[in-house]
Structure 1
Amino acid sequence: MKSAFVVSSPMTVRAFLQDQIRALAATHDVTVVSNFQEPGELGTLPASVRIERVGIHRKIAVAADLQALFVLWRFFRQQEFDVVHSVTPKAGLLSMLAARFAGVPHRLHTYTGQVWATKHGLARALFRALDKVIFTMSSRCYVDSNSQRDFLISEGVVDVERSQVLAHGSISGVDLERFSASEVVRASMRVDLGISENAFVCLFLGRLSRDKGVLDLVQAFLRLDESGVESVLLIVGPDEDGMHAQIQQLIGDARSRIVFVDFTDVPERYMNAADLFCLPSYREGFGSVVIEAAAVGIPALGSNIYGISDAIENGVTGLLHEPRGIDDIHSKLTLLRDDHELRVRMGEAAMARARTMFAKELVTASLVAEYAQLEASLSAVS
């Protein structure tokens, strides 16, 4: 069976899809389409996988988008793919339209969160409509969390019959060999970061953008009483919205309590250094970083929104807080800081849940099984 994966950014392949592509390439003819500059940006793919560069941009650019649509349509017709599978919104819109017009029999899209979930008015209506177009042009879609699927169904974007969640959710699962607890790494990372052995360390790891709720977390953290346990907020990730400058304005005299690290390709090391993982996001498809931290044995504090509510089992593997609720974040930070036994218990439960429900092998096997069914349906028709 001849298949094509289409993504806007090569980082999507590198971060989430390599294992699935490797598994499918063992028995299928696989092509990866992305807007890359160098093939190495896609990670390490089997030699049998063909790669094709198409200028798909994340943001709206009408002329470039129309050109990419035509290039994709022509490429799909020339190659006569049996399956086109898109991930990320812009890639989904262009490739589902192109695949439909090119007569590709199986057109798959994976939803990983909605940019319009927190928008209002015309912007919300427009982006919601584009997600609906993706679904209409597809033959089947996948959603990376059950609560996100429920949301999309309630919004009339997808229907029950042609949408599903693979395994227990998440786009790619967790690499349990990579994300594992290590006291040696914990100790060495704290030395490198200048954090004492006994400090209570909260970790935020991700893009520093407004919709990740970083400012809410900083404000809640700064309210923590320092009379007892030393507390440190570790913020790891690239600054996308000028958040660093805004955080610096909030910090004031508390600069020693907040540690900044730019982009890292070893997130597991920072997770090992932490006692609590924090994701106060306003929108999230699933929250893969939460289950990665869970695999390391770190409980989580996250927003009670769709996606994150699948990644955190409230009261068992962590706690959910009111979205944008600075007071609620503060009170739950205080609880988790002061109750060491609760943190340990939740961390153990989080690790067990990550290992039994979200191992990458489970998600990959589920996708491979889906493709086997698609191949069988093609054989039945022919």
Structure 2
Amino acid sequence: MMPRILLITRNLPPLVGGMERLNWHMAEELSKQANVHIIGPSGAAALKPEASTLSEAPLKPLPLFLLLTFIKGLWITLRWKPDVILAGSGLTAPIAWLLSRLCGARSAAYLHGFDITVNHNLYRWLWRPTFKKLDQIIVNSTPTQNLAIAAGVSQNNISIVYPGVSLPEASQSAKSIAAFKEQHGLTGKKILLSVGRLTTRKGLREFVEQALPNIVKAEPDAVLVVIGEAPKNSLGASIQTIESIQAQAEHCGVVDHIRFLGVITDKVLLATAYEAADVHVFPIRHIPDDPEGFGMVAIEAAAHGLPTVAFATGGVVDAVSENLSGTLLPSENYTALSEQTIKVLHTNIPAPHSCRDFAAKFAWKKFGENLKDALGIYRA
């Protein structure tokens, strides 16, 4: 008989972000060898993995989401009797723990760095103690494991399962890449790519202020292409608006060297953007209460043969391999970041095949295998 898993999460498409992709793939991979029922946000049922079942709760307001999620979870738990109740993030960990106590299921949560470091009194009083009570804690990187241990979780109860990546079956055609460049005025340009939500932690405004002018001075054809926008439904993350980044660029004289493309969810178009670029810049800032848990976008860039230049902070140290998929530099050292970005533009090192080889270790299939091992689910 296949094991039954109840996955409870607020982070699923149609919301956009790394946590949303991870939770979707978590459900998909588990569905291959388990019966998976998900409780997720409104709109998620239409986009769920095919083999799973999903019950919706309204995304906002947050207290209503948590209340209805618990009620739905209680109904499902008492009728369905799951073997494992898994929280997709720290937010739903208390619900997973409470429900598991009612039916004798194993309880687990997949934690990101921010799940542990949230600077909110109620969260620290009610949520964080729950992590120590769960049967299993799964974390997304070595630094997140260290945060969990510092929060009192036993190392014996922690497993590291790195987020995965979709490996492209083939490269995009030269014609598609040329059309993409022409559409966005990038023909003949050296493309610096940034992909992700525009939060304070991502540090894009500081990059524009302290690194981009030096890069443009050395490489006048350099253009920063930004894919993403400020999050609308994120909990806790402070944002940087496109307007504030543009104002900084205007002040620094590099406004003509930035293109904002907004959110791109089309997989082919996003792959084209990665393969059209020359370097992926990842200037994550070190913010103690808001660490970067992993850095999935660096693995995605590598999967398309694109090297990353990044600050060595948080889980980025696990997502970028020195000389194989990119370069890690001392945090906040924008001079070094500028110099290394220029170097990559001139040398094309690391090579695309090296980046792809590194990314292959993070295929979603491997993620699924490691996740099942962490949860004690038999793999056929």
Give the shorter-chain TM-score range: 0.7 to 0.9
Shift of residue 14, structure 1, vs aligned partner: 6.2
Residue of structure 2 equivalent to 1:230:
221
Sequence identity, in percent?
17
Shift of residue 20, structure 1, vs aligned partner: 4.3
Residue of structure 2 equivalent to 1:175:
166
My pick for the range that moved more, 132-141 or 17-26, is: 17-26
Q: Distance in 1 between matches of 2:170 and 2:10?
A: 27
Q: Distance in 2 between matches of 1:358 and 1:26?
A: 18
Shift of residue 245, structure 1, vs aligned partner: 1.0
1:299–1:318 Cα contact (<8 Å) kept = yes
Q: Distance in 1 between matches of 2:165 and 2:109?
A: 21
One-letter amino acid of the counterpart of residue 102, structure 2: A
Label 1:187 to 1:144 Cα distance change in 2 as closer, same or farther (>3 A). Answer: same
One-letter amino acid of the counterpart of residue 268, structure 1: A
Q: Distance in 2 between matches of 1:350 and 1:130?
A: 42
Residue of structure 2 equivalent to 1:158:
153
1:3–1:31 Cα contact (<8 Å) kept = yes
1:182–1:272 Cα contact (<8 Å) kept = no
From 135, 138, 142, the equivalent of 1:142 is 138
Q: Distance in 2 between matches of 1:55 and 1:94?
A: 16
So what's the TM-score if we normalise by structure 1?
A: 0.82
Residue of structure 1 equivalent to 2:311:
303
One-letter amino acid of the counterpart of residue 136, structure 2: R
Q: Distance in 1 between matches of 2:199 and 2:67?
A: 29
Matched, 1:209 2:199: yes
Residue of structure 2 equivalent to 1:380:
none
Residue of structure 2 equivalent to 1:284:
292
1:221–1:333 Cα contact (<8 Å) kept = no
So what's the TM-score if we normalise by structure 2?
A: 0.83
Within 5 Å, give how 1:360-375 maps onto structure 2. Answer: 360-371=364-375, 373-374=376-377
Task: Give the length in aligned residue pairs.
Answer: 355
1:286–1:308 Cα contact (<8 Å) kept = yes
One-letter amino acid of the counterpart of residue 207, structure 2: L
Shift of residue 256, structure 1, vs aligned partner: 2.1
Within 5 Å, give how 1:60-71 maps onto structure 2. Answer: 61=63, 65-66=66-67, 68-71=69-72
Residue of structure 1 equivalent to 2:332:
324
Within 5 Å, give how 1:238-249 maps onto structure 2. Answer: 238-240=229-231, 241-249=239-247
Q: Distance in 2 between matches of 1:223 and 1:161?
A: 47
Q: Distance in 1 between matches of 2:5 and 2:327?
A: 41
3-state secondary structure, aligned to 1:223: helix
Q: Distance in 1 between matches of 2:126 and 2:182?
A: 48
Q: Distance in 2 between matches of 1:278 and 1:181?
A: 21
Unaligned residue ranges in structure 2 (runs of 5+) = 232-238, 286-290
1:204–1:278 Cα contact (<8 Å) kept = yes
Label 1:185 to 1:131 Cα distance change in 2 as closer, same or farther (>3 A). Answer: farther
Q: Distance in 1 between matches of 2:143 and 2:349?
A: 27
Shift of residue 292, structure 1, vs aligned partner: 0.8
Residue of structure 2 equivalent to 1:379:
none
Q: Distance in 1 between matches of 2:243 and 2:364?
A: 37
Label 1:228 to 1:374 Cα distance change in 2 as closer, same or farther (>3 A). Answer: closer
Within 5 Å, give how 1:111-130 maps onto structure 2. Answer: 111-114=111-114, 117=117, 123=119, 127=123
Shift of residue 19, structure 1, vs aligned partner: 4.5
Residue of structure 1 equivalent to 2:80:
79
Matched, 1:350 2:376: no
Q: Distance in 2 between matches of 1:243 and 1:144?
A: 27
1:54–1:72 Cα contact (<8 Å) kept = no
From 5, 11, 30, the equivalent of 1:24 is 30
One-letter amino acid of the counterpart of residue 368, structure 2: T
Matched, 1:132 2:133: no
Shift of residue 111, structure 1, vs aligned partner: 1.0
* CA deviation string 1:239-275 (max 9, x = no partner): 2335211111112243221000111113222111111
Q: Distance in 1 between matches of 2:50 and 2:173?
A: 29
